[in-house]
Amino acid sequence: MPYAPRPTLSTEAEVLRSFPQVLLSVALAATSALAQSAPKLDLPRPSPKGSVSQTVGLTDISIAYSSPAVKGRKIWGEVVPFDQLWRAGANECTKVTFSTPVSIEGKPVAAGAYCIFLLPQKTGWTFILSKNTEGGTAEYKQSEDAVRVPATATAISPRERMAFEILDFDDEKGTLAMEWETLRVGVKFTTGTRQRVLTEIRALKGDDWRPYNAAARYLLGASLEPALAMQLADRSIQLKEEWNNVWTKAQLLHAAGKNPEALAAAQRAQTLGKASKNFFEADDVAKALVSWKK
């Protein structure tokens, strides 16, 4: 048998020194494998994210917030102390975005994104929009306010989770409100829709009958500028007589108290409509003919 030299003392020491390193590598590999194979634990957030979006006239309004729960606690005056700034939710700041300029309680607010803060008080609340959309109450500075106005607090039926809503809105105005526990805190806003629409209507040009008729119908529905609405309807008919624009003129005449002219226009609209493949207001015209004859 060939002779195998015995390892020297230095070689044995090197082997012994490397042994713990080997064990550590094995242990780390095993731990990594276990971690990769373990199922991921996905739990609901205590204050889940919520959002609401609403178009008011020509303005898109969206609010993103986190929704804490009452959980049997007294909210106002305890969980949310009076006379201390509150971030109007949990986790990240509650953020509201307006696609156009608006007014809140009569104060102008530029289009853009803002953080909502509330100042709860026993004798009255304050609603605040901050231009700083990254910070919370600790980073809040009054110098960064976009608006600071009084808010109205009213009692509501118990609500477990906080939520924001856009209430009582039409094309021109609405209420932005927070609800939680037994309280609703809201501010009124306006969008300036009608003024923007009137500006566009007065600048209307072209040879397509449809925009003129649409503009006349908008003014009719909003009870605005009846003389301008009649001019638009006449211009639409001049470009191309259709049952749609003749029916619009008939309604404008009826609104002005000119029933004989309104009745004649409605009869003309019915005649044109019967020759159309899309007389979708046939029932309304027929009802008007019966009603206006009386």
pLDDT above 70: percentage of residues in the chain: 87
The DSSP letter of residue 144 is G
Predicted confidence band at 278 (pLDDT cuts at 50, 70, 90)? very high
Q: How far is 69 from 228, CA to CA, in rounded Å?
A: 53
- What CA–CA distance (Å, rounded) separates 19 from 14? 9
Give residues with Cβ within 8 angstroms of 156, minimum separation 6.
179, 182, 183, 184
How crowded is the C-beta side of 198, counted as CA atoms within 13 Å? 13
pLDDT at 29: 57
* pLDDT tens-digit series, residues 124-160: 999 999 999 987 888 899 999 999 999 999 999 999 9
Reported confidence tier of residue 23, pLDDT bands at 50, 70, 90: very low
pLDDT at 234: 98
Could you tell me the fold of the domain covering 204-293?
1.25.40
Asked if 180 and 214 count as a contact pair (C-beta separation under 8 A), the reply is: no
Residues 131 and 140 sit within 8 Å (Cβ to Cβ): no
Question: In the predicted model, is pLDDT for residue 9 greater than 60?
Answer: no
CA dihedral (161, 191, 54, 111) positive or negative: negative
101-115 pLDDT tens trace: 999 999 999 999 999
Average pLDDT, integer, range 174-191? 97
- With a pLDDT cut of 90, the percent of the chain lying above it is 79
> What is the model's pLDDT at position 290?
96
**Stronger pLDDT, 171 or 8, i.e. the higher one:** 171
Regarding pTM above 0.85, the answer is no
Residue 40, pLDDT score: 85
* Spatial strand order in the sheet of 125-130: 49-56, 59-66, 94-98, 112-119, 125-130, 145-167, 173-190, 102-104, 107-109
pLDDT of residue 15: 40
Question: Is the pLDDT reported for residue 21 higher than 90?
Answer: no
Residue 45: pLDDT band (50, 70, 90) is confident
Looking at residue 220, what is its pLDDT? Answer: 97
pLDDT grade for 17, boundaries at 50, 70 and 90? low
Delimit the domains of the chain by residue range.
49-191, 204-293
Q: Point out the least confidently predicted range of 20-24, 34-38, 98-102.
A: 20-24
Mean residue pLDDT across the chain: 90
Q: How much is the pLDDT for 87?
A: 93
